[in-house]
Amino acid sequence: MTETKHSAIRITTASQTFEGHEESILGAAVFPDRRRMVTASFDETLRLWDLEDGVVLKIMEGHRFGVGSVAVSRDGQFIVSGDFGGELVAWNRDGEPLTKPIKVHSEGIRSLDFPPDNTLLASGSLDTTVELWNTKTWKVQGNPINCGARIACVRYSPSGELLAIATNENIQIWNPGKRECIAKFQGHCNGAWNCSLAWTPDGTRLLSSGGNRDPTLREWDTSTWMQVGEPGKGHTGNVWMIAMNPTGTLLASACGDYEVRLWQLSDRRTIAIFQHTSSVYCATFSTDGNHILSGGDNTISKWAVPSLAREDIPKDQALYDALREDTLCNDALLDAEKVIELNPSSYFGYQLKYTALHGAHRYDEAIEAFKTMLSKLENAPDMETTKLRQQYVNPSEAERAIQETIEAQLDDAPHRLLNTFTGRLCDREVQIDAFKRSTEYKELLSSILVHVDLRMERIKDVVETYFRYVMLSHRWGGKEPLLHNIQGKVVYDLDPVGGIAKLQSFCATARDMGYRWTWIDTCCIDQTNNVEVQQSVNSMFIWYRHSALTIIYLSDVPPSSQPGALASSVWNTRGWTVQEFLAPKFVLFYQKDWSLYLDDRSPNHKDSLAIMQEMGDATGIDAQALVAFRPGMRDAREKLQWVSARVTKWQEDIAYSLFGIFGVNLPIIYGEKKQKALGRLLQEVVAQSGDISALDWVGESSEFNSCLPANITSYTAPPCTLPSLSEDEIQTSVSLLRNTEAMESASRLYTLLDHMSAPRFANCRLHLPCIAFRVTAVKRSRAQDQEIYEVKAGGLHDLLITTEDKLIQFSSPRPTMQTFFLVRPWNRYLLDLPDFAEPSGLAELPDVADDTQSEEDYWSAPGSPLQDSPDGFPVAQESADSELSDRALRLTARLTQPFGAFLLAQQRGGEYKRIASDHDIIAQVKDLSSILDMVKTLEIL
């Protein structure tokens, strides 16, 4: 498979996705019934899926380690899975376990395969052995095959007589029955792993893929075990898995370079490249060979296999073929008319007419001929002919299915879009009407009528392709066209001045890339319609998320700019552009003259290490969030810091631009001012998530609630981070406290804090669970024109507070009527409880781009329980009481450490207000003996 001059089709949008796993998907297998698929994940589970509608039929639990391999028997009766702990589980076809985890291998199982008769199962492990299992008893049969090298893949030949084994050193061919190695050859060069294998259906060829030191595909003659032709090149990372289609004409390869490549074996060229957003670890064909299913992160993507167009036909030959095809269609149509003339009441002539018209691309006429054919079948005098009607779909049923698919597709799309072909602004009704008048729609409707059931996958593919749209992220200029400026006009005909020139270039750029629809916030929203503005602001993140591409226009970055120009662009200072970059999966940066930034011609600049490094340095957003951001309320303080130095034209927008990032929907009320807008957002975040990190700020208090800041700039400084105890220091403290009088009070305190309710807002009042230390003395001292107060509080070491507010000075001999507290907002993370609500992160395999790692490291599962226990088995848990006591003592140790506090002053009604400080207030417990009496829930205005 050599590289050729032909360009492969690059496909970036999957026809369907299967989401549900919490961590990386390492294996996938389809059933012969064509209806189901099973996937294996590092999250220690398998999932059984309905391939048609993407529904999870069953979550299969039982493994104790990440599941690295899965196989379905050739008859579809068994599922077998292997994990990184070296344990194997057998399941029936419905996902019910047939065995408990069986441990034979001492290291992780990397590959599984059944022979054609399904009587055996081969399991290949990193421990250098292959075990053969009896599928009736699920016991190991005979001695293991010792390969002397770490195993990546095992594959039975089509006859079942041979077993090919890929290792980190070579490829080995065994007679499994005799335990005899009949061939052994290096395979891939430069010390690369031999990662995956696939046989052609006739058994005459074996295909292999290599690791990142030789990321090629190689073909081997099974009669000589010599390489055939040149290696297939194109991948740039570990080619983790290859799969052959049922007819042996196509090969799919899944790679750590974020791509799945489709190779045609006959002329050894890449036909298509399916673009993922992260490393791809597995790929397989659907049973009929019409789709590829691939995955690596927590999602499986389903891709339609494109038509294999011959690009090397000379133009005169192509013209001849076209003329010949037209002649054949005309001849077929004449034949059909003759049949109708001979027997007008028969359906057969109209069936021939439909076929001829469809082949001639005369779809309207073809559909009419088809309707006539149906009426002839329904009115046929004999029952046998009438029964033939059941083979076809009613046109109205097909139209309804397409309409429902359109509605589902447009549910997450903007209501108005610009048609890049016509230059006109179209509302949803016009968009749908344009589709129904298009050749794509008519060909789709005509083609699905002749099937006994609706071809929903084909419908989805056509609808998604037609309605995909491109969004623009930009900085507004002085004269931007609004809705009324372009409505009813052709954009390309307008005078190219100001924002019109930008709009024209945007539409033309998207059009030249093959996209029909575009959206820009200047003229695709009716700014005078409050309902539409509210709906648009709350939907903006979703629109960008579902775009096929987002173009980011840097109007102040000149052509041929050097690295760093993006970071200094004014685009990077605007509030709305944060979500406009984080939401989409595919983005491209364009310079002032509409040339690509840094001349980077990759299909997605989120895959560019240089550009993402520059974005990370400019924004402070971590690399994972930049390329694969997920909206939500976790780590609220960090997200607030991302936008703390940004500006917006309307003051309320600094809060509204965060709605999508936090995943909230709230009313849009321009004129409410920024304090109330920000207050409503933060109130919702704290109330829904219980995340109190948003209370960590310095500056001016908000009029909305004193515990919230008046300005987003209060989050500019990094959050208050204090040195924490190491695990050794915690264990030392726990040992000192154990078997002392502190044990009982620690347990009582732990139980009390465990039962504290989450923080909540009601009518702008914050009900805050906290540990409240009563202030006993305040003494004022001035330093460098600042108000500094020496503060004493029961149970705390003395401390200093800097604030612009005037505090009443008092002490024990001269008490005050007003009550002050220094409070520690309660954070449930200190309880050491497992976080069931949200996974702590995706357990990824090592990054293939890191050339400093050895290839052997790529096959060690990070975070595997094996690394925690020498014998490969989890350590038994202590009793529940002992565990609770241990957590209580650990909590006590943590509570003695310095913490960020804030000062509250009691009001006349018994509520409290926060007294803002210009600096972080760092407090430390001096006496834990009375802390039980300090646990409270305070109402704060």
Whether residue 392 has pLDDT greater than 80: yes
Residues 758-790 have pLDDT tens digits of 899 988 999 999 999 999 998 888 666 667 888
Q: Which residue has the higher pLDDT, 522 or 884?
A: 522
Whether residue 802 has pLDDT greater than 90: no
Whether residue 555 has pLDDT greater than 80: yes
**pLDDT mean over 624-641:** 93
Dist. CA 847–CA 238, nearest whole Å: 10
| Range 64-87 burial, b when 16+ CB lie within 10 A, else e | ebbbbbbbbbeebebbbbbbbbbb
Whole-number pLDDT of residue 118: 94
Whole-number pLDDT of residue 876: 40
Whole-number pLDDT of residue 307: 56
Dihedral over alpha carbons 99, 105, 109, 112 (to 10 degrees) = -60
Whole-number pLDDT of residue 853: 41
Whether residue 842 has pLDDT greater than 50: no
Closest by alpha carbon to 584, among 609, 551, 632, 619? Answer: 551
Q: What is the pTM of this model?
A: 0.62
Closest by alpha carbon to 627, among 597, 588, 586? Answer: 586
Whether residue 861 has pLDDT greater than 80: no
Whole-number pLDDT of residue 835: 56
Q: Which residue has the higher pLDDT, 619 or 877?
A: 619
3-state secondary structure of 265: coil
Range of 111-125, 886-900, 921-935 with top mean pLDDT: 111-125
- Other CB atoms within 10 Å distance of the CB of residue 735: 10
**pLDDT mean over 311-316:** 38
Identify residue 419 by its one-letter amino acid code. Answer: N
**pLDDT mean over 179-183:** 94
Whole-number pLDDT of residue 39: 97
Q: How much is the CA Rg of the chain, to the nearest whole Å?
A: 33
Instruction: Return the percent helix, strand and coil in the chain, to nearest 5.
Output: 30, 25, 45
**pLDDT mean over 637-646:** 94
Whole-number pLDDT of residue 872: 41
Closest by alpha carbon to 306, among 271, 280, 270, 268? Answer: 271
Measured at the alpha carbon of residue 300, what is the angle toward residues 296 and 301, in degrees to the nearest 5? 110
For residue 796, give the DSSP letter: B
Cβ-contact 645, 716 below 8 angstroms = yes
Token pair of 460 as six digits: 């989805």
Residues 722-741 have pLDDT tens digits of 888 888 888 888 888 787 77
Dist. CA 447–CA 441, nearest whole Å: 10
| Range 617-626 burial, b when 16+ CB lie within 10 A, else e | ebbebeeebb
Whole-number pLDDT of residue 880: 60
Token pair of 308 as six digits: 């294999």
Quick one: pLDDT band at residue 308, thresholds 50, 70, 90? very low
Whole-number pLDDT of residue 854: 41
Tokens 């540990």 locate to 771
Dist. CA 737–CA 249, nearest whole Å: 70
Residues 513-541 have pLDDT tens digits of 989 999 999 999 999 999 999 999 999 99
Whole-number pLDDT of residue 710: 95
The phi and psi torsions of 428 (rounded to 5 degrees) equal: -60, -40
Cβ-contact 790, 803 below 8 angstroms = no
Dist. CA 373–CA 366, nearest whole Å: 10
The sign of the torsion formed by the CA atoms of 274, 280, 281, 286 equals negative
Whole-number pLDDT of residue 867: 40
Closest by alpha carbon to 463, among 426, 409, 414? Answer: 409
Tokens 């289609």 locate to 245
**pLDDT mean over 235-245:** 95
Whole-number pLDDT of residue 327: 53
Whole-number pLDDT of residue 328: 60
Quick one: pLDDT band at residue 359, thresholds 50, 70, 90? confident
Dist. CA 780–CA 923, nearest whole Å: 18
The mean of the pLDDT values for the chain is: 87
**pLDDT mean over 197-224:** 94
| Range 363-386 burial, b when 16+ CB lie within 10 A, else e | bebbbbbbbbbbebbeebeeeebe
Residues 903-922 have pLDDT tens digits of 999 998 899 999 988 888 99
The share of the chain scoring above pLDDT 70, in percent, equals: 91
Dist. CA 317–CA 656, nearest whole Å: 59
Whether residue 874 has pLDDT greater than 70: no
Dist. CA 332–CA 733, nearest whole Å: 90
Whether residue 264 has pLDDT greater than 50: yes
